[in-house]
Amino acid sequence: MRRTIIASLAAAMVALLALRATPDARAVTPEPRRVREAQRTLRDLGYRPGPIDGIVGPQTRAAVTSYQRSERLPATGRFDPETLVRLDIYERLFRSTHQPGSEARRGEAAI
């Protein structure tokens, strides 16, 4: 639990620092692997982002907007840092699946 909180805070800080470096934060589009992971997550949560292709098209924007509204976030239709943190994208992308005992922990969580 502590590791998840620290990872989420670190990811949020990195994302916020990256946004401060850009003149128009809304113009920033995450790289395709982050978009694909976000699309998968939205699909798994019951939203319909369209094809899992790493492209932010109209279906993906609509799914993001619906998700943001349900989470009481500003409904921008964009993968802003707060939305990505809530979707747990950074943790999903950087989670090591090769840690010793990770399978046992997953099995325990499912029970």
pLDDT digits (tens, 9 = 90+) for 22-61: 444 445 677 899 899 999 999 999 999 999 999 999 999 9
Q: How many domains does the chain have?
A: 1
Residue 17 in domain: yes
Say if 53 falls within a structural domain: yes
58 to 62, 72, 87: CA distances (angstroms): 6, 21, 19
The three-class DSSP label of residue 23 is coil
∠43-110-71 over CA atoms, to 5°?
40
pLDDT 10s digits, 71-93? 999 999 999 989 988 888 777 76
Query: Looking at the domain assignment, is residue 49 inside a domain?
Result: yes
Q: Does the predicted TM-score (pTM) go above 0.85?
A: no
Q: Does 107 map to a domain?
A: no
**Domain residues for 75?**
2-97
Position 35 in a domain = yes
Q: CATH number, domain at 71? A: 1.10.101
Give the Cα-Cα-Cα angle 38, 42, 47 (nearest 5 degrees). 150
